[in-house]
Amino acid sequence: MTTKPTGERKPGVRPRAVLALEDGTVFEGRSFGNAGEVTGEVVFNTALCGYQEVLTDPSYAGQVVTMTYPHIGNYGVNLEDVESARPQVAGFVVREASTVVSSWRASGDLGRYLDEHAIVGIEEIDTRALTRHLRTHGAKRGVVSAIDDDPASLVAKARASRSMVGLDLAREVTCKAPWTFDPRSEGAGRASHLVPVLKGTDAHRPRDGDAPLRVVAYDFGMKRNILRNLAAAGCVVTVVPATTPAAEALALGPEGVFLSNGPGDPEPCTYAIEAARTLVERLPVFGICLGHQILGLACGGTTYKLKFGHRGANHPVKNLQTGQVEITSQNHGFCVDPKLFERPELVLTHVNLNDGTVEGFRMRDRPVLSVQYHPEASPGPHDSHYLFEEFVSMMRARREGR
């Protein structure tokens, strides 16, 4: 199937570009950002805003991200709404890329930002049709090109590109050496992204006179807002590379360990699974996204690839312990198999209300909690910020010998 660009072609506009999927589906549009060529797994995100946070989320490494909201780029880009040092996506797909920027915070426009960071984009394609295709047939390997316009050639390139299954991308996006997060480097513009204390409780605030809680955070592709949340909760965070052995992490003297989000298939991350097995026996541990999957594997479970994944800022998750429903931000293509919770030492705590998949678990007799979604959001709702509070409470209980 081939779809033509939407709207009329006008003189002086951006050059033609093509998106081709491994199953032979081809979309024609126009280039924006870098006029090059890139391959990756084509996925979709349903968030209405937050495209700069999406672009800079390392969990999207190796993926061509389609935004389902039709008008992207209207508030431009800025120096504050970033989740890593640069855009991480392989490519970017939108219905219409705005050339007019309307925000007092903007420092530039989206197209130029992508071009400066060599990110290949395509616009003026039917993103509704593409999303329906991916929902029906599953996420596909694809190629976006402003260089080659031969459909057969592009489909062949898509089929020859690497599969996400079995792909260890955490090694590619992790930091190179340990470093300590300094919240003062984030700037005043990020104040609104720090953890809002839940009404009726002050447990999330650092206590006056308390020494900061020492946390070692494994960087599998970590978003910056996780670090901001941990710092706002009274933690001093040392970030370590994904391949750090448990003994080296413990030698830093942490009171808790955080396992971050990240891209790719969790099963090849054997180094992280092995470290997690040791760490859960020694310290409070909190995992999200890829870190959650790694904890599941460390506890003896398995993971599997979802048909088209969960990516967006409006996914409903039920907390089985409270009965409350949280609207969550998500970005993942793999999931923990629920058979894991046949083990009596593990407790399923959260499920996805759209498809019933695993969204969180705890260890019954150890201070370990884990969720599949993103409680730090950015972009997304703040319903799940309480999880940082619970992690802090576990560390304080250990410090006080309770």
**Residue numbers annotated as active site:** 289, 374, 376
Contacts of 13 (CB under 8 A, 6+ apart): 30
For the record, the structure tokens of 2 come out as: 């081939």
Amino acid, res. 366: R
Measure the CA dihedral 313/315/321/324, to 10°: 80
Token pair for 54: 């999406």
| Separation CA 110–CA 34 (nearest Å) | 11
Query: Nearest 5 degrees, angle CA 238-CA 242-CA 244?
Result: 75
Type and span of the H or E element at 260: none
DSSP state of 223: -
Report how far residue 23's alpha carbon sits from residue 132's, in angstroms, rounded to the nearest whole number. 14
Quote the tokens at residue 171: 């090694």
Cα–Cα dist 388/229, whole Å: 7
- Give dist(CA 163, CA 5) in Å, integer: 28
Spacing of C-alpha 395 from chain mean position: 25
Q: Which residues of 46-60 are buried (b: 16+ CB within 10 A; e: fewer)?
A: bbebbbbbbbbbbbb
The DSSP string of 72-116 is E-TT-B-SSS-SSSS--BSEEE-SEE-SS---TT-SB-HHHHHHH
Residue 73 and residue 98 in contact, taking contact as beta carbons nearer than 8 Å: yes
Number of C-beta neighbours around residue 15 at 10 A = 11
DSSP code, position 36: S
Question: 287, 243, 296, 249: which is closest to 269 by C-alpha?
Answer: 243
What is the amino acid identity at position 243?
T
